[in-house]
Amino acid sequence: MRIDGLFINLLETLLSASYAPAAQKTAILDAASKELDSVKLLLQVAWELKLMDHKAFAGISNPIHEVGKMLGGWRKHVNEKRPG
């Protein structure tokens, strides 16, 4: 399923960001944010097309939302530490 592949790519991108030099973190985290948005969009579409039931959608939506909040906080932290 395409969502699985996107989610794995997101995890790989987040791992890359954790090891990246400070100068590259923002760009990598921006890419991760876009990947997360793609995952959320495809999950929404799958739910609307009834390819997943409401219970499964609700079960994955909350953790995905939390990942988004943590990613946003990480991006904010990295941007605050940047000089200039």
pLDDT digit of tens for each residue in the chain (84 aa)?
A: 688 999 999 999 999 999 999 889 999 999 999 999 999 999 999 999 999 999 999 999 999 999 999 999 999 999 888 765
d(CA 84, CA 81): 9
pLDDT (0 to 100) of residue 81: 81
pLDDT (0 to 100) of residue 1: 66
Do 3 and 43 meet the contact criterion of CB atoms below 8 Å apart? yes
Q: How would you class 51 by CB atoms within 10 Å of its CB: exposed for 0-12, middle for 13-18, buried for 19 or more?
A: middle
pLDDT (0 to 100) of residue 53: 93
pLDDT (0 to 100) of residue 14: 96
Q: Whole-prediction pTM value? A: 0.89
pLDDT (0 to 100) of residue 82: 74
Q: How many domains does the structure of the chain reveal?
A: 1
18: left (phi over 0), alpha (psi -120 to 50) or beta: alpha
- Residue range(s) defining the domain that contains residue 16: 2-81
Do 1 and 44 meet the contact criterion of CB atoms below 8 Å apart? no
Do 29 and 17 meet the contact criterion of CB atoms below 8 Å apart? yes
SS3 44: helix
pLDDT (0 to 100) of residue 2: 84
